[in-house]
Amino acid sequence: MKVGGVALLLALGWWGADVQAQIRYHCRDDRGNTFTLSRPCPEGTKTTAAVAGPAPAQYSSPRYDNTPARSSPETPDHHQYMSSRCRTLDENMRSGYSRGIKADVLEGMRREYRRDCREQEQDAQSRLYGERRARDKERREAEKESQLAAQASREQEERVAQQCAESRRILANKRARTDLTEGEKNDLRRFEEAFLARCKR
């Protein structure tokens, strides 16, 4: 083969290797999350596109065991009952793609989480739901007690109103009499004082 032909083949080989290095694989996992890799999509994910272009900066694998993740607004409430290590693993998994964590690293996190944190997560969820049920029960009982107290107060006010109406009728009848003895007049004054003390509005 001529020197020129060899040089052409070498150039083509270099060009092909360079293009291969720059192919970006667009992948989607079973949760609908999408990410891009410089190698074929890992098992369990779907390749949605393979595009040639400038290779982006490479990310180094994060130290996810002890590095706190940035908390997101979607942080589950039951996290408060889990260990710091399991919280960090879960937060890193949920924010991994947006932070550029590689797919194989995320899969390692998932395996570790299933092995060490799944039971703890279930216990934390049970505790959270149990506390919510207890608070709901306390709230319902407090509302019931408040309603019973309001009803008892209304019934008491109605009884007092009925008693005052009867006392007012008796008082009017006594005042209308003109034949009261001194003793009955004294009784009438005491009755009036009691009526005013109890029924004056």
Least confident of 6-10, 34-38, 144-148, 165-169: 6-10
Answer yes or no: is 154 within a domain.
yes
Is residue 59 a contact partner of residue 28, using CB atoms and an 8 Å limit? no
Rounded to an integer, what distance in angstroms lies between the CA atom of residue 38 and that of residue 27? 11
Query: Stretch 4-26: mean pLDDT, rounded?
Result: 46
What total of structural domains would you count in the chain?
2
- Residue 103: per-residue pLDDT: 87
Task: Identify residue 175 by its one-letter amino acid code.
Answer: R
> Over 80: is that where the pLDDT of 2 sits?
no
Answer yes or no: is 159 within a domain.
yes
Rounded to an integer, what distance in angstroms lies between the CA atom of residue 109 and that of residue 95? 12
What tens digit of pLDDT does each residue of 119-165 get? 999 999 999 999 999 999 999 999 999 999 999 999 998 998 898 88
- Residue 53: per-residue pLDDT: 55
Q: E strand or H helix at 26, and its extent?
A: strand 23-28
pTM for the predicted model, two decimal places: 0.43
What tens digit of pLDDT does each residue of 55-95 get? 444 333 344 344 444 444 478 888 999 998 998 888 888 88
> Over 70: is that where the pLDDT of 54 sits?
no
Query: pLDDT class for 201, splitting at 50, 70, 90?
Result: low
Q: 166-178 burial, b for 16+ CB within 10 Å, e for fewer?
A: ebeeebeeeeeee
Answer yes or no: is 13 within a domain.
yes
Answer yes or no: is 46 within a domain.
yes
- Residue 17: per-residue pLDDT: 41
- Residue 119: per-residue pLDDT: 92
Phi, psi values for residue 74, rounded to 5° = -90, 10
Reduce the DSSP state of residue 181 to 3 states and report it. Answer: coil
110 burial (CB, 10 Å; 0-12 / 13-18 / 19+) is: middle
CB-CB neighbours of 83 under 10 Å: 13
Task: Outline where the chain has alpha helix (H).
Answer: 3-22, 84-99, 103-116, 118-176, 182-199
The residue segments making up the domain with residue 23 are: 1-57
Answer yes or no: is 184 within a domain.
yes
- Residue 13: per-residue pLDDT: 42
Query: Stretch 25-34: mean pLDDT, rounded?
Result: 73
- Residue 58: per-residue pLDDT: 39
Share of the chain above pLDDT 90, in %: 24
Query: Stretch 102-126: mean pLDDT, rounded?
Result: 90
User: In the listed set 18, 35, 57, which residue is the last one of a domain according to the structure?
Assistant: 57
Answer yes or no: is 38 within a domain.
yes
Q: E strand or H helix at 27, and its extent?
A: strand 23-28
Answer yes or no: is 193 within a domain.
yes
- Residue 19: per-residue pLDDT: 39
Q: Give how far Cα 23 sits from Cα of 40, 58, 99, 100, 195, Å.
A: 9, 14, 21, 18, 99
Is residue 21 a contact partner of residue 39, using CB atoms and an 8 Å limit? no
Answer yes or no: is 25 within a domain.
yes
Rounded to an integer, what distance in angstroms lies between the CA atom of residue 64 and that of residue 101? 10
CB-CB neighbours of 30 under 10 Å: 8
User: In the listed set 15, 32, 57, which residue is the last one of a domain according to the structure?
Assistant: 57
- Residue 88: per-residue pLDDT: 87
